[in-house]
Structure 1
């Protein structure tokens, strides 16, 4: 277990959520490795908390697919597999294409301008070498499209799915060679939305998700 694990305190969050965010970030950064055991006593001692928030945080990690409990062994950091990635991105592809198609007809001029601004923010973030910041900018780009659907049920489904794909998004964004492709894909999506071209925006979103899936597959294979 990494010696650099320290509690990321936030006075406005319950301790359970603080522990969860700390462990989540450590997993996404690779400080806690796939297959590494999440031992309650050891984590509690390292973070200076009781076992209760550790146990609750591990349950939350399991809901995101970042941890798994093995019978007679305990909890450990979940391993990334091609099957899990394909299952998640298969759903994401369908929902993102649907969201883009609906947004194409409902997006306001103000939302289009907001999307244009966030697209530029993403470009700037890629120069920061801060994967967390880049991931947040990418999430924000898609969030504008989701909200533009005006369909709260769809937005809720996409938000729940977002937590499950975050790990794959981070792995993808660790590779700087992917940034030019991503920037071009965002540009194609924005152009199709401005043109109100549903076929084109669905095609652009499909390419966007497919390229990510292919890249993450290679990353997973290299780690096996």
Structure 2
């Protein structure tokens, strides 16, 4: 029998609604504990309630929303111990992704990682020249953070492991908003050294990946992820 080309599944409105609502949760546009309705989300997305209902069922399975009524949900909130459990899983998964990236990444993937870090470095240079507490400082920090998030995505993709990437997308959704708030909080008060420290950590991880040193890449990524997550938990639950 002749071989037939692979067909890709069509992207439905339900898929698009799921992606859009999930991204709003990840970025903090939808706040932890915020109550939303199917109708309200449908109006924001300019679609009918049916695909929104489908999307919310999937997000409920992901534990990103909690059902509060037949047509309403609340954006999930997590306690300190629950968040700690998620971060332990994230540390292990990210470390494994870095090891696999060192072993399996292509030259093109490594160039993209390097370009991402170079762009972040350029923003660091601008950050040194702006006054503390200004809107420009905040914009630059958010820009650097976005590039660091992109770097992690590139490492995940370079691992070549679809199951691992799906698991990382899931755990990342549980803490992206807290990670964002934590870094902004750390930078306030002229603690800009945290930005430089995080950048150096990412650059060292890249160097290990580029050298094909899986063991070193895994070690550095685990330490980086643990440090970042410890700060995130401390920011969310100050003693």
Superposition TM-score, scaled by structure 2 size: 0.68
| Residues 141, 170 of structure 1: alpha-carbon distance in 2 compared, 3 angstrom cutoff | same
Task: Name 2:195's counterpart in structure 1.
Answer: 179
The whole-number CA distance in structure 2 between the counterparts of 1:214 and 1:65 is 22
Task: Name 1:215's counterpart in structure 2.
Answer: 231
Match of 1:155 among 162, 167, 176: 162
Higher RCO (C-alpha under 8 Å, 6+ residues apart): 2
Aligned residues: 209
State the Cα RMSD in Å: 3.5
Please tell me whether residue 193 in structure 1 is matched to residue 209 in structure 2. Answer: yes
Please tell me whether residue 137 in structure 1 is matched to residue 147 in structure 2. Answer: yes
SS of the residue corresponding to residue 79 of structure 1 reads coil
| Residues 70, 84 of structure 1: alpha-carbon distance in 2 compared, 3 angstrom cutoff | farther
The whole-number CA distance in structure 1 between the counterparts of 2:106 and 2:44 is 49
Superposed CA deviations along residues 193-215 of structure 1, whole A, max 9, x for unmatched, are: 34443443222111111012111
Instruction: Check whether the contact 1:135–1:169 (CA below 8 A) recurs between aligned residues.
Output: no
Structure 1 residue runs of 5 or longer lacking an equivalent are 1-11
| Residues 92, 158 of structure 1: alpha-carbon distance in 2 compared, 3 angstrom cutoff | farther
Please tell me whether residue 38 in structure 1 is matched to residue 54 in structure 2. Answer: no
| Residues 44, 89 of structure 1: alpha-carbon distance in 2 compared, 3 angstrom cutoff | same
Instruction: Check whether the contact 1:189–1:205 (CA below 8 A) recurs between aligned residues.
Output: yes
Report the CA distance between 1:21 and its aligned residue.
4.5
Task: Name 1:53's counterpart in structure 2.
Answer: 51
Superposed CA deviations along residues 5-64 of structure 1, whole A, max 9, x for unmatched, are: xxxxxxx96443444444334434544332222223444456554331221221232244
| Residues 158, 24 of structure 1: alpha-carbon distance in 2 compared, 3 angstrom cutoff | closer
The whole-number CA distance in structure 1 between the counterparts of 2:142 and 2:57 is 23
What is the 5 A alignment of 1:24-173? 24-44=22-42, 49-70=47-68, 75-124=73-122, 129=139, 134=144, 136-149=146-159, 151=160, 154-173=161-180
Superposition TM-score, scaled by structure 1 size: 0.72
The whole-number CA distance in structure 2 between the counterparts of 1:109 and 1:44 is 43
Instruction: Check whether the contact 2:157–2:165 (CA below 8 A) recurs between aligned residues.
Output: no
